[in-house]
Structure 1
Amino acid sequence: MSYWFVDSVGGEEDVYYLLLRAFQISCAFVVGGELVFGSPYGSQSTYKGMFALNGRLIWILMELVSPVALLYSYYAMDTSIPENRSKAHSPIALAFCALWVVHYANRALVYPLRQASRKPMHVGIGLVSCVFNTLNGYLNGRWFSVFSNGLYSDDYFYTYTWQVVLGLCLFVLGMAGNIYHDNILMQLRRPADGTSNNRYLVPVGGLFAMVSCPHYFCEVVEWTGYALLTQSPAAWTFVLATLCNLLPRAYSIHKWYQHEFPKYPQNRKAMVPYVI
């Protein structure tokens, strides 16, 4: 896509593309860091020190940052952008923002509030996630409102018909798959009497027959669909960041399952069916 190589000039646009490139480059460090240090939250966390805070609250706060940053960036400071470079508040761009908000309404509120319990989380994990979500929301919000330079005109759906159709299908299927497999995991931690279960069990059903972390696979599918749908370099960067974050974590969880359960199914991959 040519948008990855736009020659930026002046003001915020220079900063925007600098941050976009830095975000892309940082993905390599995320992979390296997780392979060395792991991703210490959820089943992978044993920390109970003074910096461990309520896991549910931290999760809600750090996930809410993303839609807030996106909407603020989408609507903010439009008067500072020359009229010949701003196509802000396009109905199509607004629809794409709405899909983002729908995802995070589930991820930030519905998902954690439905969980029977959640382990304490190190405050540092929450702070890093807040920085990530702020930057990600800014990059996507400003692309939609300013730096897409009229991409989302009335003929967008006609110009990118197959990308829109395929992208929307992948987004919906990925989000549905993510919720479905999250529900399976929730049921394992919630016995019939409705109490919290502190023991981990081997999940079964759906794509768990093939991989240890189908909810992560579905999330990558969802955001890949979103990137196809929007034709946004910021969205494609989010796909890269999501993959670089979730793939090493899925590998760690996969190894943890194998260690904790000697009879764990040997045919399962970590995240991508038949691949890894």
Structure 2
Amino acid sequence: MRETILMMAWAMIGTAFFVFFALKMGLTAGYGRYTNQAQWGINPKLAWFIQESPAFFIPFYFLFGGLSSTGRILNCIFLVHYFYRALIYPFRIRSTTKSPLLIVAAAVAFCTYNGTLQGVWNSYYQLEEELTYRHLIGSILYFSGMFINHKSDNILMTLRKPGETGYKIPTGFLYEYISCPNYFGEIMEWIGYAILGWNLPALAFAIFTFANIGPRAIAHHNWYKEKFPKYPPTRRALIPYIY
């Protein structure tokens, strides 16, 4: 079983490179501002709950049958993120744009795959470790990234007043420096998680996260500049002052 989990991790890394180059070549995920309204879709609140749930409930299941106490802690850290994404965030969404069924199905498949990958490895194959400075650094990155991600999402959710439609330029916090601090925070989270775990499945997920949402940050940044002629010229897409 251990070898199977490692093969799954390598497969995720290989898929990450494919996804990265596909997105860099101009492919866009058809949700949010890029949604094709002609496609079959479902309510976005329901869509987010359905697609994120496997990444919470599968590791939660393995949490109670594991052999590694260190891995159990790592699983709990993973679950903190997806408890919010699956059980809180969906009910805070204000968008009424339907989520395409194909996108939801793809997200369910990935979250099932990744939930199994992380849950099984953490529960049965994560090495027992004493606390070190590596764990401190990983924890700081993980929880700092989570804070950035949540605060950035909150700013986006309150951009429009009740009844308003259309898009606005987000301001405040890290939006003064980059177009997608929510993505920046999420990437930071999973880098921190990979440092904490120091294993191939955690690293694979961190790589896939960057490959998946890094190019999307560039696409969002370019969209903002096209949509708003007076978009702040000093803003970068994902990394302040750099990228």
Q: Which TM-score applies when normalising by structure 1?
A: 0.83
Q: Check the 8 A contact 1:211/1:268 in 2, yes or no.
A: yes
2:28 match: 38
Residue 199 in structure 1 maps to residue 189 in structure 2: no
2:74 match: 96
1:137 match: 115
Select which of 191, 210, 231 maps to 1:264: 231
- Structure 1 18/253 Cα, relative in aligned 2: closer, same or farther at 3 Å? same
Kindly name which structure, 1 or 2, has the bigger radius of gyration based on alpha carbons.
Answer: 1
Shift of 1:25: 0.3
Residue 115 in structure 1 maps to residue 93 in structure 2: yes
2:128 match: 152
Q: Check the 8 A contact 2:55/2:115 in 1, yes or no.
A: yes
Select which of 180, 183, 186 maps to 2:157: 186
Deviations along 1:175-225, one digit per CA (max 9) or x if unpaired, are 011111101000103x1xxx2432110000111011100010011111111
Shift of 1:74: 4.8
Q: Distance in 1 between matches of 2:125 and 2:200?
A: 10
2:181 match: 214
SS in 1 for 2:12: helix
Q: Which moved more, 1:91-100 or 1:172-181?
A: 91-100
Q: Check the 8 A contact 1:117/1:196 in 2, yes or no.
A: no
Letter in 2 for 1:167: G
Q: Check the 8 A contact 2:67/2:124 in 1, yes or no.
A: no
Letter in 2 for 1:48: Q
Q: Distance in 1 between matches of 2:59 and 2:107?
A: 15
Q: Distance in 2 between matches of 1:224 and 1:262?
A: 34
Q: Check the 8 A contact 2:71/2:124 in 1, yes or no.
A: no
Shift of 1:247: 0.8
Q: Distance in 2 between matches of 1:173 and 1:118?
A: 30
Q: Check the 8 A contact 2:68/2:124 in 1, yes or no.
A: no
Q: Check the 8 A contact 1:60/1:112 in 2, yes or no.
A: yes
Q: Distance in 1 between matches of 2:110 and 2:139?
A: 25
Residue 170 in structure 1 maps to residue 102 in structure 2: no
Letter in 1 for 2:29: S
Alignment of 1:66-85 (within 5 A): 66-75=55-64
Q: Distance in 2 between matches of 1:220 and 1:53?
A: 27
Identity rate of aligned residues, in percent? 33
Shift of 1:258: 0.5
Q: Distance in 1 between matches of 2:198 and 2:116?
A: 17
Q: Check the 8 A contact 1:139/1:234 in 2, yes or no.
A: yes
Q: Check the 8 A contact 2:13/2:208 in 1, yes or no.
A: yes
Q: Which moved more, 1:237-246 or 1:226-235?
A: 226-235
Letter in 2 for 1:245: N
Q: Check the 8 A contact 2:20/2:215 in 1, yes or no.
A: yes
Shift of 1:50: 4.7
Q: Which runs of 5+ in 2 are unaligned?
A: none
Q: Which runs of 5+ in 1 are unaligned?
A: 1-11, 77-87
Q: Distance in 1 between matches of 2:96 and 2:68?
A: 40
Select which of 31, 36, 60 maps to 2:49: 60
Residue 232 in structure 1 maps to residue 208 in structure 2: no
Q: Distance in 2 between matches of 1:225 and 1:99?
A: 10
Cα root mean square deviation, aligned? 1.6
